[in-house]
Structure 1
Amino acid sequence: MIRVLVVDDEPQLLRAMRINLSARGYEVAVAVDGASALEAAAKHVPDVVVLDLGLPDMDGTDVIGGLRGWTKVPILVLSGRADSADKVDALDAGADDYVTKPFSMDELMARLRALLRRSDAENTAEPVVTIGHYTVDLAARTVRRMPDAPEQVPEQVHLTKTEWAVLEVLVRNQGRLVSGRQLLQQVWGPAYHTETNYLRFYLAKLRQKLEPEPSRPRQLLTEPGMGYRFQP
């Protein structure tokens, strides 16, 4: 059974989460503050953590940092903070996704399933993914047309070194939000923080080369104010 640790100081929300998650077959553990959350995670490692940022004893980003010191468990931030800076800080701290209160339970469940799929995929990671009409091999650095693709689709696509670097970061975090700062630093280096024009340029180039409809991307996604996502 999949174990979910829910960390929030709102009793009504905890109760609703416990009822809804249990009804869907999850094992649910709850914590009302950061210290008890870290203790609970250490005693029985969860499969996924749902974490509020506004806790009574510490900021949620500190809880993320405490978890990331020893585990890669998926972390879904659930918070009333709608400011994009809070979202970016949480993602940079190591969160995997972010849902703003109020939220629908259907959306939350979909995000949880996506995180769990990504976690399973990382444990059996394959360097080959499908984007649009292409098979992309990250290890061989090749982009080839799929057998059932339309005839007008080019047989192969050439990506530059930087395009490969951007794509690899997104694919290695498939289904997960990657903040602009994280993407900049992983591709261009730790001195880069605010050069968002780089990201817009290279994401546009990747979409032009790989997405069937570059103006309406389905897999290489931008989430304004939050970051970027490769959707398998």
Structure 2
Amino acid sequence: MTTAPHDQTRGDSTPYIEDGASAFLSRNEVASLCMKAARGAGMSWGLAEEAGFAAAWLVQHGINGPSHLYAHLDQAQGRPWSDLCPTVTPGAWQAPVGRALCPIALGATLCDYAGLPESIQAGSSLKIGKVDHPILLIPFLAAIAVSQSILFDIAWAGGAAHLDGGSEALLKAAAALDGQQLAITLTASFGNPQVASAGKLPSISADVISALNTLAMRTTVPSSESSRAGAGSTTSDND
């Protein structure tokens, strides 16, 4: 792999990757790049921060969060994000116009409603309409599990996964949910979730990094003659 010198005027969050190589990005690099990419795809800054959190959490646990996030952003582009956010009703949540829910918006809303009757509590279930790339929901469920001392089961047509906080259950759930678009049912039970150990950093392909950087660049303002002319201090720094 070769990398070109980082051009600070580009606004990229990561080095430019040449020769079609892959790269290992740190959690902080993933969070920054994915936050900007989500914002470039049209998410609000608040949701974009949640997207960066989700992708970085998955990377920390050995799962290719950036790839999953880009696949979701690419699928959702051009649609009003408000149409991909859940309508909250007791026992059942779904997108307002029947579209597949954004897992980032869904996860953030589940966190906001954690412990409230409209959401899910130990001993109850919540039916959720079709979710795009539900693997991106796992970091939010992990956060809720710790804060509420509960364990989650996820069920869908033809499959199920148990999340106890441990690494083995996490990787099994991630493999089962990879690339899916599913209507799911969440069931919560009392329990003390394990703490998943950090996994081996996944290799992120050059194509995914480039695609995320392209989205991230939408958050920058192109330079102009006037902005370049106004750059720098107007006073001397000579004493």
**Structure-2-length-normalised TM-score:** 0.33
Larger radius of gyration: 2
**Structure-1-length-normalised TM-score:** 0.33
